[in-house]
Amino acid sequence: MHVKHIPCGEYANQSEQNALEFLRQRLNSEAGSDTWFLLTNLLLSLGHESLPEEIDLLAVGPTGVFVVEVKHWDASLLKSTTAEAEKAAERTAMKAKKIAGKLKNVLSFDPGFVQPRLLFTRNDREKHSTPTRRTIEGVPVFGLAEWRELLDLSVLSSTTLTTEQSAQICQLLQPQAALSITGKVRHLMDFANMEKISEDPNGFCRVYRARRRPGMDRVIVHIYDLTAITPLYDLTSGQKTVDPRAIAQREYEVMQRLQKSPWLPHIFDSFQPVPGYPGELYYFSYADTSAVSLQERASDPTWDVSARLFTALQSVRALRDIHQNCDDQDGSMILHRNITPETIRVRSNNEPLLTGLHLARISSQGTISGMVAPEFEGRECYVAPEVRPVGLTGYTVEADIYALCASHRVLFERFLEDPKAQEAWQILNEGMAVDPAQRPDLTTLERKLEALSSGKPDVVSVPVACWDETTVLKFNNRYYRVLSRLGQGAFGTTFKVEEIDHPAERRQLSGPYVAKAITHAEAGRVAAEAYARVRAQTGGPHLAGVLEVAPEWQPDQITVLLKWVPGDPLADLRGLLPLYLEDQGEGSNVESVETQVLQWLYDLCEGLAHLHRAGLVHGDVSPK
């Protein structure tokens, strides 16, 4: 059987941890394809007038739902702890009823009777079934040796839960369990708006695109579930031969080793455990650029051939920079293994940025069985022919070169009447030779493209769609550098920016701010006038501040500069409000949530009333 442990809080004592490890090992050794979910130290509120209590162990699996109270007792202690044992049994029965009540009116299926259990751990060989099962206040008692009876595995149970039903129960009782069970999570720690972009088949590594609080920076987050791979040990030495944590950390070290490259994103969070999941979940994150993809940039007819040649040349240098970063242990080369026109981004200064690094590996590092096996569907034309039938394990330096050349042909396919574009097309075709041995190396590619290039082109004006972290904009005689893209609508795009002293020096003077660029001409003129009208009324309680407005709308320029407002959009809190308020130090029960929401409504009405008294309406109020 497969076992998924979901830690919901800290162990109260070593006995609870030992019981969990004992059950996990025994269930893992059982035959079958079913999954058991073991939630430990699940917080269970018994009402706002009583102290909250925890469930030591909630086991959910094919035979039903079990509320287990773990006690470091044995039969000999019962005589001296009778009163305490009766109280423990009563509490366990009450917790089981509470769980049953939570499930009763929500689930579309019958979870069966929620079973209360007492588990004694002091004597791991002791049994409590002779001649009949010992009970305390109607709650049956089990020893560790009776673990099969504890979970009704030794009898034919009337309750049969599928793995999907068990997962649904866990997510209902512990919303954060979605991360461990399905990877479907929108918020975690300081990460918001999480969207899964990659997952290996058995869930060991999940990769998300997210916003990182408090600055709402765009990041890529790698989360590793160490329980998805069973550690293997050498029977003689006792040392781990397959260590899930070491595998996960090795992937982070690939990113860490590449940090000096100017063509790769920088790390935000180093490799560390997810709070609340010690020994279970680890993560790290790195910046997700706002730069457009090579595919999107190539579609701009105003982007000339000289700039395209420069980008292609720098991309060759960027890949060579990756390959030249070797593993300190054995000198093995790092491979990208995921080069496409979408994973290559183009900055506003025409410099490339290599992204999609969740498949990067050290060339000598074998793929763990079942750990990484993504399909090539949708990107076959960028995958070397020798790699397509064997998968990622067949990737080589030559395969990376093939992908790079195949991706960059999109730059020149519409400009083949230009002699330089035609020659560049031919050079890239050489890098796509069917025989890997016939492909030129990166040094040769660099030399040939360099002979065509005219050097770094001057950047005069950059379309709004191409603004990124390298973009500097002049607005009302001040300079602003783009920090990240915040959002995009039908008429404009918003950016997080900071004021700098000069485009060359780029020393921060103030910020952050929100810059909005309207891309639709007619809407831009109307918006500029609207912001000018409302500016004097903003900046007070519950209204964001309009700081500066362009004298007149101009294309590819900032239209308005707004005050930066930290916080989360209301839309992002849907379904998570109690957890959010708890994180903010507020109460999370029903009364506290209602009080807070009513206060927000009152404050919003006050802000809108201020506008209405000035003869203005907002016109775009929404949860976003």
**pLDDT of 93 strictly over 90:** yes
Question: What are the tens digits of pLDDT across the range 70-86?
Answer: 988 888 877 777 888 89
Res. 550 pLDDT band, cuts 50 70 90: very high
Radius of gyration of the chain (CA): 30
Cα distance between residue 567 and residue 564, in whole Å? 10
Per residue in 405-441, pLDDT (tens digit) is 999 999 999 898 999 999 999 999 999 999 999 999 9
Residue 333 carries which DSSP code? B
Query: What contacts 41, CB < 8 A, 6 or more positions away?
Result: 7, 8, 9, 10, 11, 12, 16, 54, 55, 56
Residue with token string 């029960």: 589
Lowest mean pLDDT among 10-24, 236-250, 476-490: 236-250
Query: Both tokens of residue 615?
Result: 């003869």
Residue range 167-219, pLDDT digits in tens: 989 888 887 666 666 666 677 778 888 888 877 766 788 889 898 888 888 89
359 contacts 338 by C-beta, under 8 angstroms: yes
Question: Tens digits of per-residue pLDDT, 458-483?
Answer: 877 888 989 999 899 999 999 999 99
Between CA 306 and CA 312 the distance in angstroms is 10
* Higher pLDDT pick, 245 / 373: 245
The answer to whether the beta carbons of residues 96 and 115 sit under 8 Å apart is yes
Query: Given the DSSP bridges, would you call strands 344-346 and 267-273 parallel, antiparallel or unpaired?
Result: unpaired
Nearest CA to 589 among 46, 6, 40? 46
Place of tokens 């993504």: 374
